A and B are shown apart, each in its own frame.
Chain A
Amino acid sequence: MSAPPIGADGSLRARAFPPNWPLRIGAALFVAYVIYAAGIVDIRWERFVQGLGNGARFLGRMFPPNLAHDKMQLLAQGMLESLQIAIIATGAGVLLALPVGLCAARNLMPLPVTVLARGLIALCRTFHPVIVAILFVKAVGFGALAGILALIVATIGFIAKLIAEAIEEMSMKPIEALRAAGSPFLSVVTMGVVPQVLPRFIGFAAYQLDSNLRNSALVGLVGGGGIGATLFTAFQRFDYDFVLTIIIAIILAVMAGEILSAFMRRVYQDEAPSGEVKAGANGPVWHRFTTAERSMRLAFWAVAALALGWSFQTIEVIPEFLYDAPAQTVDLFARMWPIDWAYFPKTVQQALIETLHTATLGTILAILLATPVALMCARNISSSAWVNTLGRFILVATRSVHTLVWALFFVAVFGPGALAGVLAVAVHSIGFTGKFLAEAIEEAKPGPIEALRAAGAPRRSVLLKGFWPQVKPAFLAVSLFRWDINVRESAVLGLVGAGGLGVALQAAMDNLYWDQVGLVLAVIFAVVVVTEIVTATLRAKVI
């Protein structure tokens, strides 16, 4: 091992540790951008300090949560309505999403059908549920119906896309076999497609129920009924102690929903039916499920049907509003056309820039905040169960409270403007970003980590040289994905006064200038499409 150190000054040596100019320039640009953008959204130290004082007073007024009898009745009413909205929207949305998803599957359907179905899915996904809810409130009036319709649209967008992907990923061999046996199309679907896709489909539906529960708290902020309406009223009346009660109730409901959906996924996904053979009158008979499995499934479908029936029975929907909804919707869009381009340079351009900065700064801040929480959650880094649990609680709590609700809070603390928006985006994103980061860290291969520990490397060096290279691709992908989502979110934050395009949207709606509303919606549409293209391109480069 005493060979002369070859390459000691050779070219290889120079190439091994080149000064990383792209990284340095990137870092410099990054810092410059943050300073510049922080100036645009008016983030200043004095404002922050002043806000902290406000925040303390605000939190003081929130404690203790208001548990008075009349408030609890309001709470129960709102929560119940939200639950009904979520159940109906999930049930109806999933039923509608099935055929749409089937039509969008390129391995089953002819091209024109898939193009149409995919267009519909894209349209459903483009607009934030809050914007869809606003439009439905204008079309069918205030109340639960608007909320339900908005969430149905969101459900179709999400579920149909996943169904289409699931169908495209499934094995074509059984399909070929069924076709070869001369089965008609619907039999191919029931015997070939459904068995392969059903477990995942149940998983999506469970997830969507969970997500609709969260979003049903949201649509109420713009008049779509449910607990969101109760929350918004409480905010406007400065009933901050009741606000806290409502937020705690929402967090608990979302947690319960997550536990339920995890349970459903376990029943339907992880455990394949074991089946059994029983002695029958004419010899042994095969049953697909054991008795326990069958009763489990029966109970599940019974509960689902009951919940749906109960929700339809008790929800307050004024039928007249439903009947003229199509006419109203058409009228609404007619009034938006032609859109008012003159509004763009006056207000919308500025708002657009603010929205993009809000999304970007919010995402950067979210990553900074989420990284330590992810390290707390990752069991291969923090071995203490206490630290893991605390980390997981932070993730769930930040994620359960929607960006718009966080925005209400930060507007109350820091005043209206993009600063509140940035903080709302950042805090809500902790849950999502932290969850995926923690998962990526836990998936890191233990071998290299063990090797570095065996070499006596200190913890921070193990983090940087062992974990970071393994986690980096997932880290960048999650950040990009979250930025994509945050652009959509930032576009609606202005509805509660947190800056950006939402402010322009609200102003136009308040003035009943529907051609200006049309312009803002068109701009949001364009931004979302461009964002999707940008993230898709970047993602392909990163991974």
Chain B
Amino acid sequence: MSALSAAEAPGHGRALVIRNLVKEYRKGQPVLRDISLSVTEPGIVAIIGPSGTGKSTLIRCINRLVDPTSGSIMLGGTDLAKLQGEPLRAARRRLGMVFQEYNLVERLTVIENVLCGRLGYVPVWRAWTRRFPEADIARAFALLDSVGLADFATRRADQLSGGQRQRVGIARAVMQEPDLILADEPTSSLDPKTSVEIMELLAKVGRERDIPVLVNIHNVALARRYALRMIGMSKGVVVYDGPPAGLQESHLAEIYGGEGWME
């Protein structure tokens, strides 16, 4: 079954099932050791854990910005870990990604940045001549409005604040009409108030579009507040997987090591 037709099957396309995922950047030193988990429910799933524990690697393996060493990543019947070339591109279109440093093309306008989310869909000549389909443009404006940046459409991206840029980043990801959104530390470069707003927005996207939002996050309190499910990682393995309410101090001690930092 091709990635595209899998994605079009409603309710089925967004089932993400990871099995025995291993990633070694250097041979014999795995960063991810045999990760297995599945995500089928909509809403925020927060991945917490100390720096260097493989949270980013896990997220990046899913959309193959990093190539896994072994294991499978099934999304609606397609093994993402095995895709190459054109089918991989087609699969990536259905995976929106939000980055810590926003990763906007700074010298393009805000609206063009949002439309970059359609680059996987539109023919190359349309991108080159800046003739995006009318429907895409209308959606881009609607999305910008819904993230509260309608008035900024024609500004250059480098004129925005961090929080505004992250909103554009989210709009770009949603523009892909994704079955799943991956967010790699989306709040780590933002102040506490803006961080809350961004998490609020991600939760809203997950709710309204009825898709899972996989978020790497350092701030445990923020994660607890918005996540419907928490995954704790330590040294490349999953050590907690369950509702935020079930996450005990003992779990945190296991995830982050030691207890002094919690006081």
Chain A residues proximal to chain B, CB less than 8 Å: 1-8, 12-13, 15-17, 445, 447-448, 450-458, 460-462, 464-466, 469-470, 472
Contact = CB atoms under 8 A, between A and B. Distances in A.
A181 to B, nearest CB: 46
B235 interface: no
Interface in B100-144: 101-109, 111-112, 116-117, 119-121, 124, 127-128, 130, 132, 137-139, 141-143
B119 A455 contact: yes
A452 B154 CA distance: 20
Nearest to B109: A16
B176 A7 contact: no
| Interface of chain A, main secondary structure | helix
B208 A1 contact: yes
Contacts of B104: 448, 451
30 contacts: A1-B208, A3-B142, A3-B146, A5-B138, A5-B142, A6-B142, A7-B150, A12-B141, A13-B141, A15-B154, A16-B111, A17-B137, A447-B102, A448-B103, A448-B104, A451-B104, A452-B119, A455-B96, A455-B97, A456-B90, A456-B92, A456-B121, A458-B89, A458-B119, A458-B124, A461-B127, A462-B119, A465-B127, A469-B107, A469-B108
A1 B174 contact: yes
A445 B96 CA distance: 20
A453 B92 contact: yes
B226 interface: no
A7 B172 contact: no
Interface of B: 63, 65, 89-93, 95-97, 99, 101-109, 111-112, 116-117, 119-121, 124, 127-128, 130, 132, 137-139, 141-143, 145-146, 150-151, 153-154, 169, 172-174, 176, 205, 208-209
B170 to A, nearest CB: 11
Main secondary structure of the interface of B (DSSP, over half): helix
A450 B64 CA distance: 11
A452 B116 contact: yes
A472 B107 contact: yes
B92 A455 contact: yes
Nearest to A7: B141
A32 B174 CA distance: 44
Nearest to B134: A8
A61 B124 CA distance: 46
Nearest to A467: B105
B191 to A, nearest CB: 20
Contact of A465 (B111, B116, B151, B174): B116
A250 to B, nearest CB: 41
B97 A451 contact: yes
A1 B141 CA distance: 11
A454 B176 CA distance: 10
A1 B107 contact: no
A3 B106 CA distance: 27
Contact of A454 (B92, B132, B139, B142): B92
A461 B119 contact: yes
Contacts of B91: 456
Given A16-B153, A464-B127, A469-B107, A7 B119 contact: no
Given A1-B205, A3-B142, A17-B137, A457 B116 contact: yes
A404 to B, nearest CB: 39
Contacts of A451: 97, 99, 103-104, 116, 169, 172
A6 B139 CA distance: 10
A1 B208 CA distance: 7
A470 B104 CA distance: 11
Contact of B106 (A448, A453, A460, A461): A448
A1 B143 contact: yes
A261 to B, nearest CB: 35
B160 to A, nearest CB: 14
Contacts of A457: 89, 116, 119-120, 127
Contacts of A4: 142
A460 B91 CA distance: 18
Contact of B154 (A12, A462, A470): A12
A464 B172 CA distance: 17
A457 B130 CA distance: 15
Contacts of B102: 447
A455 B101 contact: no
A542 B145 CA distance: 32
B141 A454 contact: no
Contacts of B154: 12, 15-16
A295 to B, nearest CB: 37
B19 to A, nearest CB: 22
